[in-house]
Amino acid sequence: MRVVFLAPSYPPEMIQYTRGLAEVGAQVFGVGDTPREGLPKEVRPHLFDYLQVPRIMDEPDVMDRVSNWLRRRDIDRVLTNWEPLVLLAARLRERWGMPGMSVDTALGFRDKEIMKERVRAAGLRVPRSRRVKTESEVRAAAEEIGFPLILKPIAGAGSADTYRVTDSADLDHAILATRGVPEASCEEYVEGEEFTFDTVCIDGKPAYENVAAYLPKPIEMRSIEWISPVIITVRDMYQPRLMPGVELGRKVLDALGMTDGFTHMEWFLTPKGEAVFGEIGGRPGGAHIVDQMNYTSDIDLFREWARVVCWKTFEAETRRKYNCGIVFKRALGRGRITRIDGLGDWLHAAGEALVEERLLRPGTPRRNWKHTLLSDGHVILRHPDWDEAYRLSFAAATGIQMYAE
C-alpha cells in the first residue's frame, strides 16, 4: 500500500497519523512545505519518501509537482487530515483515478453553504443561512434571518473569524472584523447546548462513534478571554437525551456521501430536546479531541484510522470506558508566564484521574488565545462517572490560575 499523505508533520498531530499509516504497513510519501531537514525527528522514521513544495496551499503547483515526482510509481491512496488540504487531496485522487472522497463530496464537507443545502435537502434540521460576499449582502441576510445570528467563513475551521451578532452594533463590528474573509455564511443562532459527533467511517458507516460536550459553546470559548474552555467526551453517548444528535449525525453522513475516514460534526441540543445540525468536516477534530477519544476507549485511533483508509478494517475495541475531559488554560496578563497557582492542589485532588498535564511553564511566552484554542496548555483527566469527570474538569477551570507579565 503506497500512500501520499499531505502535510505529514503540520499541524503537529499529523505526525501521529503518519505513524499510524506506517504501522499498518503503508509506504508513506509525504508532501509538505516544511524543508526536509526541518522535519521533526518523530516523523522521519515513518516516511518512505518526502517531497518539499514551495507552498502547500498552491493547489495547481502542488498537483503538478507531485504528479511529476510520482510519475513512475504506483500510488494507492491520497490522504490528508488537515482541513485546508481536503479539496487538494480530492483533486489529486480525481487526477490519478484513486479511490476515496471525490471533489464534489469534499465540497459538501468544506463549503458550509453547500453542506447545509445538502443536509437540508435530506429533510434534516439546519439553521437558516445565506452565503454572503459583500457588506450589502451581509446586511440583507441579517435583515432576513434576524438577530441573534452567526457570521463565519464559508471554508473556516475551529471557530476562527466567527462572530455572534446580537444587534446592529455587533453587525458593524463583525463586518469590519471579517473584511479579509472572501466568503462567509450568515446563519441563525441556535439556542441550546453544543456537542460533537465524531466518527471513523468505512464506506460511510461509523466503525467508531463519539460524542463530546462543549462547555461553553465554541463561539463563547473563542470570544471571552477569561474562560477556560472545557470539552468532555460522554461515556454514555447513547443515552436517550443524546440519541437525537447521534441519529442526526448518521443521517448527515448519508446525506453528504461520506466514504472512509474521520468526520467531526458539531450539533445543538435545544431546550426542547431537538437536535439541530451545525457543521461537519471530513477530517478529525482538532484541539486534542482524538487524544480524548483514545483515552475514552483505551485505543489508538491514529492507527485505526490508518487501517480503515488503507484496508477498510477497524480492529480496536469500541467500548467506552471513561468520560474524558480536557481543560485549556489561559494566562492572565501579557508576555511570559510567571507563575501557576492551584496546580498542585488540583493534581492531588485528581489523583489517578489525571492522564496529561501540559501547561506552559514559567518563562515561556504566552500564546495568542485568539489564534489557538490550545491557549497556554491543558490538562486531561478521565473518570467512569460523568459527575466526577465534570467536577474535576471545572475544578481545573476555576482552581488553576496562570499569570503572565
Confidence of residue 156 (pLDDT cuts 50, 70, 90): low
Element housing 57 (H / E): none
Write down the pLDDT at residue 264.
98
State the Cα–Cα distance between residues 33 and 39, nearest whole angstrom: 10
Strands 27-32 and 49-52: parallel
The mean pLDDT of 102-112, rounded to a whole number, is 96
The mean pLDDT of 220-230, rounded to a whole number, is 91
Write down the pLDDT at residue 371.
87
- The pLDDT tens digits for 227-275 are 999 999 999 999 999 999 999 999 999 999 999 999 999 999 999 999 9
What are the extents of the domains in the chain? 2-100, 128-188, 193-404
Average pLDDT, the chain: 96
Q: Is the peptide bond before 206 cis (omega within 30 degrees of 0)?
A: no
What CATH code is assigned to 128-188?
3.30.1490.20
State the Cα–Cα distance between residues 369 and 153, nearest whole angstrom: 19
The domain made up of 193-404 has a fold known as D-amino Acid Aminotransferase; Chain A, domain 1 (3.30.470)
Write down the pLDDT at residue 223.
83
The mean pLDDT of 1-23, rounded to a whole number, is 97
CATH 2.60.40.10 for the 2-100 domain, yes or no: no
State the Cα–Cα distance between residues 313 and 298, nearest whole angstrom: 18
235-254 in b/e burial notation, b at 16+ Cβ within 10 A?
Answer: bebeeeebebbbebbbebbe
The mean pLDDT of 302-321, rounded to a whole number, is 98
Which residues neighbour 232 within 8 Å (Cβ) at sequence distance 6 or greater? 212, 213, 215, 323, 324, 325, 326, 386, 389, 390, 393
With H, G, I as helix, E, B as strand and everything else as coil, classify residue 21.
helix
Decide if 78 contacts 310 (C-beta within 8 A): no
Residues shown for the chain = 405
What percentage of the chain has pLDDT greater than the value 90?
Answer: 91
pTM score: 0.93
Q: Does the pLDDT value for residue 73 go beyond 70? A: yes
